[in-house]
Structure 1
Amino acid sequence: MAIITLMVRRNPNLMKKTKKKQKYSNISVIEMTKSCFETALLKKPSPKNLTLEDDNGGGTNSSSWVKSILLGRGAYGSVYLGRSKTRQTGERAIKTAELSHASSLMDEGRILIPLQSPFIVRCYGEEIAREERNSMQYNLILEYCSGKTIADLIEDNHGELLESEAKVFARDVLSGLTYIHDRNIVHCDIKPDNLLLSPTDVRFRFTGYLTTIGDFGLAMEKGSLEYGDGYGHKRGTTRYMAPKLIGDGFVDFGADVWAFGCTVLEMLSGKTVWGEYGDLGFDDWVNLIGHSDRMPHVSAWLSEDALDFLSRCLERGIDKRWSSHSLKNHPFVLL
C-alpha cells in the first residue's frame, strides 16, 4: 500500500527497494497542561454515529458517498476525498478497491474499525457498493487528516525539526503504539509517511498539529491464525524494518519500536535513515540490517536525552529494546 495525506503511502514499498526519501514548519507558541490537552483530544467523533448501508439496507447498491479528488493510489486500492450523500459528516477519505481485489483492504478495515484513539486514524465504517461501469467496490471510510504527514513536515522544513517539536510528535506516536500494542496489534509499517497530521488549536499543541498513525494495510494481530508463531512475515518498508523482522521474518511489537526509532531519528536529523547506503536491493537490505552489526547513523550533537532515547529504540537485541510503554516514561518525551 502507499500513503498520502490520509491512508495511502506514496510508494508501494513492501519488500521492494525504497525510493529516495522525499524531502520532507517550524511552529512555536505555548504549552498547555496535559489534562486540558487530553480533554480536547477525546472530543473526536465516534464511528458508532455512522452507518454505511444504502437506503435498501443491503449495502450493495449505489455508494453512500460522493468521491471527488483523488488523493493517491496504492498497490491495493485508491484513496479519494469524499462526502456523504445523506449526512452532514464533513469530509472523509474513501479508501477503495474492486471487490475482487479487496481482501487486503478488508483486513485493514477489520483491524481499524474497532479502534478508537485520538492517536489512530479513525475508521467510520465500510460499504460494498456498485459504482461506475457497474463494478462492485469495497469502500473503507476514514478520517481525513488535512495536515499532510510527518514526512511532508520534514520536507517543508528543509531538514530536521526542532527537538521540542520532535518530542511532541514522538509522544503522540508512542500513545498510538501503546494503544494498539495493548490490543495485540502490530502495525508493521511505522515511518514518517504513515504518521498523519491534523491541524489543531495551538492552545492544545504548540506545534499546531495532532499526530495520528495511519495505513494499517500491513498490520497483524498477535494470536491470529495469520500471525501464527510470528515467523515468516517479512513485511514493511525495508529501510525501517527491524533486524529480526527483515532477517528472520519475525513480527512483534519490537518491530514497531525500531521503526519508530528510525522515524524519530529522521525528525531530529532531517536525513533519511541508512541514507548513506543509498537505495539497495532487498537482499542487500537483509544483509545490512538483518545480518550485520551496522547501526543507523546517529549524530553526536543531539541532546543527551535524545541520544539515550534513540539507543533504547534502536537496540538490535530484541530482548533489550524498550517497549512502547517504557519509552513513554523516558525523559525525552515527558512533559
Structure 2
Amino acid sequence: MKLGIDRAKGLDRYLTSWKSRDDPSPGDFTYRLNPSGYPQMILMNKSVVLSSSGPWNGIRFSGIPQLRTNPVFRFGFVFNQNEIYYYFNVLKSSVPSMVVLNENGIVRRFTWVDRTKSWFLYLSPQTDDCDTYASCGGNGNCTIASSPKCMCLTGFVPKDPSDWESGDWSNGCVRRTELDCPGGDKFLKYTQVKLPDARQSWFNESMNLQECEQTCLRNCSCTAYSNLDIRGQGSGCLLWFGDLMDIRQVNENIQGIYVRMAASEVGQIFGFSHQSRSEDLDLPMFDLTTLVNATGNFSEDNKLGEGGFGAVYKGVLRNGQEIAVKRLSENSRQGQVEFKNEVAYIAKLQHRNLIKILGCCIQVDEMMLIYEFLPNRSLDCFIFDQEKGVSLDWPRRFTIINGVALGLLYLHRDSRLRIIHRDLKAENILLDNEMNPKISDFGLARSFGGNESEANTKRVVGTFGYMSPEYAINGFYSVKSDVFSFGVLVLEIVSGKRNRGFNHPDKHLNLLGYAWTLSRDQKFMELVDPLIVSTFNPVEVLRSIHVALLCVQNNPHDRPEMSSVVMMLNSESTLPQPKQPGFFYETSASEASSSSDSRHKKYSANEITISHLLPR
C-alpha cells in the first residue's frame, strides 16, 4: 500500500476517517503525506494539524520510533521526481494486516489473530500527549515522563512566563540571547529528540554535514541543521527556518540536530573562555528525565564512586545501553572547572585507549557528563587487591601498560589538541570487558597550542605519589609530567604496590627508590608482584621496569617522550641506564620543598593547593 503523491498520474493517496462508527461517509480527519519542505506524514482535523511523523531519516520517520523492522510488514519511503510516498507491504498473506484512521482521528495498524478470530492492535504512531502537534510551542521540548512535560530548549526562555507557569505552553519559547548573524553564531547538538516539523525546511541530498553547517551559517534565517539520512556515516542536509516546532523526547533517536545559538550564549552555558568557544560544540545533549530514569533517580545502589567533581552513577538507557553518569556536586567549584575541561577536551578526542564520552546534560540546576560504562571499574581495584589481582596476569598487565602508553602518546602528539592529563593514576585507568585500558578523567587536563610544550601554575592539582617533582614543588608542568606519572603507574602494575605510602622497612625508600635500587643491584625479581610470577615474561617485566625508571628520573629533560616509551617497550634495543628517580626517599612535599634550591622556594607547601582526588 502507498500513501503519497504520484505526479505523473495526478494521484494523492491518503486515509480519510469515517464520519462516525456507523456512517462510512468521509469524516473530518485525514492522514496524508505533506510534500512541503521535506515530506512527512501529517494527521489533520480539517485544516488543523493534530500530529506529524517528523521527517524520514533513511530508516523511519523521526517521530515514530516504534516503526522498526518486524515480521508483519515491510515499509519504506520513495522520493523522486515523479513520486513521493510512504509504502508498507504485508510480508505474509497468511497474516492479514490493515491500517485504520478511525472516526476519532487515531491511526492504528491491526493484525489478524487467527487463534482468537479478532483484530489485534499492532502499532499506532500516536502514543501519548507529546504526540499532539506543537504541544510545547515553538522551541519547546516535550518529555512525557517529566512534570511539567514541556521545557524550553537550552538557551531559550518561555515567551509568556505567566502562561507557561499555569500550564499553557502553546506560545512556546524565545531566545534568551539574539543571534549575531553573520559571523557570531554557533550550534548546540541535540540527540534523542524527534526532529522538528519539516514543512518550512530545505534539503540537499548530496551535501555532507560540514557543508550543511556552512550553508546554515551563511543564511541568517536558518535556525538548525541535520543530516538528511542517518544510514552509514550520515549524508545529505536538512535545514530549518524560523521557530522549531513539534520537538519531543525520543530516547531511541541517535540522530543529531544542531540548533543555532549566539556564540555568547554557548559560552554562558558551558562557561568557556573566548578561546575555547572558537570551535563548535559537538556533544549530544541528554534529557534530565532520561538520566533520572536510567539511574533509578540516582540511587545509592547505582553509585559507582565519588570525587572532586561529584558522584558517578551507573545507568541503563531504555534501549539497554549501559552508561556512566558523572553528576556535578551542587557546591563543587572544582567540579565546575572540571566539567568545562571535560567538555572542552574529551569531546574532541577519539582513541581506543581513552574513555568515550557519549554526551552531557545541562538542564535546570544539573550539569552531568555521560560516558560509556566499563564493567571492570578501575585498575586500582585489581593491582592493589590480593583477591582480584590474581585475575590480572602478566600478559594482561603488559597489555594495559602498552595501552596506556599509546593513549598518552595520542594526547601528547597525535590529537587535535595537544593535551597534558595531569592526573594519570591507577584510579583513572578504567578497564573494559576484555581488560583493555581507557584513560579517564580529563578534569585537570591542560592543552598546548602551537610550539608550546610547558607551563607554570601556582595552583598545583593532582595526586601525590604520581606528581613529578618539578610540578609538585614548583608548579611547573609539561608532557614530561605525564611521563613521570606513567613511570609510577608501570612500577605499581609490576609490583602490585602503591607508591604513595610505600616505605622500605630498612632504607626508608619509596617505591621509586626501592625499584631503582633493585634494578641497580640486578635484583628486579624482588619487585615483581608474587601474583604474576607464574605467568610473567622475564624480558618484558625487566624492560617494563627499566622503561619506568627512565620515566621517573628526577630531571624532566632526562625522561623520554611517550613516542620513545612506546618504541622502547616493544623493541630489543639497548636502553640507557636510568638516573636516580625523583622523590627517591619517602618525603613530604614540605620536606622536598625545603631541600630544593632558592628557585624552588618561592612556593612553599602552604602556598600549593593540592586536590587529592578520590577514585571515580
What TM-score range do you get, normalising by the shorter chain?
0.5 to 0.7
Query: How many Å apart are 1:91 and its aligned residue?
Result: 0.8
The structure, 1 or 2, with the larger RCO (C-alpha pairs under 8 Å, 6+ apart) is: 1
Q: Which residue of 1 aligns with 2:343?
A: 109
Does 1:327 find its partner at 2:595?
A: no
Q: Could you say what secondary structure the match of 1:296 adopts?
A: helix
Give the gaps of 5 or more residues in structure 1: 1-48, 131-135, 201-208, 279-287
Does 1:273 find its partner at 2:507?
A: no
Q: Which residue identity does 2:410 align to in structure 1?
A: Y
Report which of the two has the higher share of strand: 2
Give the one of 384, 402, 408 matched to 1:177: 408
CA RMSD of superposed structures (Å)? 3.2
Q: Could you say what secondary structure the match of 2:304 adopts?
A: strand
Q: Could you say what secondary structure the match of 2:383 adopts?
A: helix
Give the one of 78, 81, 88 matched to 2:311: 78
Does 1:140 find its partner at 2:369?
A: yes
**1:87-236 mapped onto 2 (5 Å cutoff):** 88=319, 90-97=321-328, 101=332, 102-130=336-364, 136-157=365-386, 162-182=393-413, 183-200=417-434, 209-223=435-449, 229-236=455-462
Does 1:241 find its partner at 2:467?
A: yes
Query: How many Å apart are 1:276 and its aligned residue?
Result: 3.5
1:96-122 deviation line (CA, Å, top 9, x unaligned) = 125775342232222111111110000
Taking a change above 3 Å as real, the CA distance of residues 84 and 304 of structure 1, as seen in their structure-2 partners, is closer
Taking a change above 3 Å as real, the CA distance of residues 252 and 192 of structure 1, as seen in their structure-2 partners, is same
Question: How many residues end up aligned between the 2 structures?
Answer: 256
Q: Which residue identity does 1:321 align to in structure 2?
A: R
1:36-80 deviation line (CA, Å, top 9, x unaligned) = xxxxxxxxxxxxx98267837996974332223122222221111
Contact between 1:195 and 1:211, CA under 8 Å: does it hold in 2? yes
Query: How many Å apart are 1:124 and its aligned residue?
Result: 1.2
Query: How many Å apart are 1:317 and its aligned residue?
Result: 1.0
Contact between 1:50 and 1:124, CA under 8 Å: does it hold in 2? no
Taking a change above 3 Å as real, the CA distance of residues 138 and 320 of structure 1, as seen in their structure-2 partners, is same
- Equivalents in 2 of 1:199, 1:220: separation in Å? 29
Q: Which residue identity does 2:399 align to in structure 1?
A: V
- Equivalents in 1 of 2:512, 2:329: separation in Å? 41
Give the gaps of 5 or more residues in structure 2: 1-188, 194-246, 250-256, 260-284, 297-301, 526-540, 573-616
Contact between 1:194 and 1:214, CA under 8 Å: does it hold in 2? yes
Q: Could you say what secondary structure the match of 1:126 adopts?
A: strand
1:292-312 deviation line (CA, Å, top 9, x unaligned) = xx9532043245423321222
Contact between 1:170 and 1:333, CA under 8 Å: does it hold in 2? no
Identity %: 25
Taking a change above 3 Å as real, the CA distance of residues 331 and 122 of structure 1, as seen in their structure-2 partners, is closer
Query: How many Å apart are 1:84 and its aligned residue?
Result: 3.3
Q: Which residue of 2 aligns with 1:305?
A: 543
Query: How many Å apart are 1:265 and its aligned residue?
Result: 0.4
- Equivalents in 1 of 2:478, 2:487: separation in Å? 15
TM-score where L is the length of structure 1: 0.67
Does 1:55 find its partner at 2:278?
A: no
Give the stretch that moved more between structures: 314-323 or 214-223. Answer: 214-223
Query: How many Å apart are 1:233 and its aligned residue?
Result: 4.2
Q: Which residue of 2 aligns with 1:296?
A: 513
Query: How many Å apart are 1:267 and its aligned residue?
Result: 1.0
Q: Which residue identity does 1:222 align to in structure 2?
A: F
Report which of the two has the higher share of helix: 1
Give the one of 487, 511, 520 matched to 1:261: 487
Contact between 1:167 and 1:333, CA under 8 Å: does it hold in 2? no
1:295-335 deviation line (CA, Å, top 9, x unaligned) = 5320432454233212221111111101111100014578x
TM-score where L is the length of structure 2: 0.38
- Equivalents in 2 of 1:301, 1:229: separation in Å? 35
- Equivalents in 1 of 2:503, 2:551: separation in Å? 21
Query: How many Å apart are 1:230 and its aligned residue?
Result: 3.1
Query: How many Å apart are 1:257 and its aligned residue?
Result: 1.0
1:266-298 deviation line (CA, Å, top 9, x unaligned) = 1111111153349xxxxxxxxx99xxxx95320
